[in-house]
Structure 1
């Protein structure tokens, strides 16, 4: 399953050589969502694996990025106990060019003494 999300890069971790044939690198982005005048902030940790580990190198902390990723899950059993893990596997990272502006349109004129209708 392929998805994408836009957020602010808040942390990059060093590359980890897990074993002789597998390496990974993790990073975290901050994502905000709005619902009924409330803001909810999530911190999402992604992993880059193998030849994708260097994809995050060109982005600095604080950068607005768009992350393309696959949602993966694993089942792990030990001593009769079963655990499940989810991974967000990033496969492409790009500068976010769709930033939302927080400024108002200068063409709108609001009279000073007009009351709000609610």
Structure 2
């Protein structure tokens, strides 16, 4: 499952290296802030191996498109989630003036007028509100 996120690169964390049974490994984490103007979110992602070198070509403030996979695993009855980026590229235009595509505004669901607020859910005022398919 491939997911995409477009945002501004706001922080590159130090590279971490180690030695495992399969040889040397390295990973680097970075933080992207989404371009949603009303409620921007910060997301920490990880690149492994040679992809850590790809991250070095970008500077803080660049607008990136990260293609990633999400995976969770359990350890000692706790769950840990990793967002592993496998493709990093400059977003369209490659500068911070890039705007995310407009999403349709969420419409509020209409409030049912069949029951006043504070009335128990099993109280019915008319036969139409008791319109169950079975």
The two structures have a TM-score, normalised by structure 2, of 0.64
Change (3 A) 1:100 1:41: closer
CA–CA distance in structure 1, aligned partners of residues 46 and 85 of structure 2: 6
Return the structure number with greater relative CO, CA threshold 8 A, min gap 6: 1
Tell me if the contact between 1:18 and 1:24 (Cα under 8 Å) persists in the aligned partners. Answer: no
Deviation at 1:40, TM superposition (A): 0.4
**Distance in 2 (alpha carbons) for counterparts of 1:50 and 1:83:** 26
Aligned length: 93
**Structure 2 residue ranges without an equivalent (≥5):** 101-134
Take 1:85 and 1:48, find their aligned partners in 2: how far apart are those partners? 16
**How much has 1:33 moved relative to structure 2?**
2.5
Runs of 4+ more than 6 Å apart: none
- Alignment partner of 1:53: what SS? helix
Aligned to 1:76: 75
Instruction: Say whether residues 1:62 and 2:61 are aligned partners.
Output: yes
Over the residues paired in the alignment, what is the CA RMSD in angstroms? Answer: 1.8
1:2-53 deviation digits (Å, cap 9, x = unpaired)? 101100000011210143433210000101325xxxx101100000112211
Structure 1 position 4 matched with structure 2 position 7: no
Paired residues of 2:44 and 2:83 also in contact (CA < 8 A): yes
Q: TM-score, normalised by structure 1?
A: 0.72
> Judging changes above 3 Å, is the alpha-carbon distance between structure 1 residues 8 and 71 closer, same or farther for their aligned structure 2 residues?
same
Unaligned runs of 5+ in 1: 102-118
Answer yes or no: is the 8 Å Cα contact 2:8–2:32 preserved in 1.
yes
Aligned match of 1:115: none
**The structure with more strand, counted as a fraction of residues:** 1
CA displacement 1:58-79 (0-9 Å, x = unmatched): 11000011001011111102xx
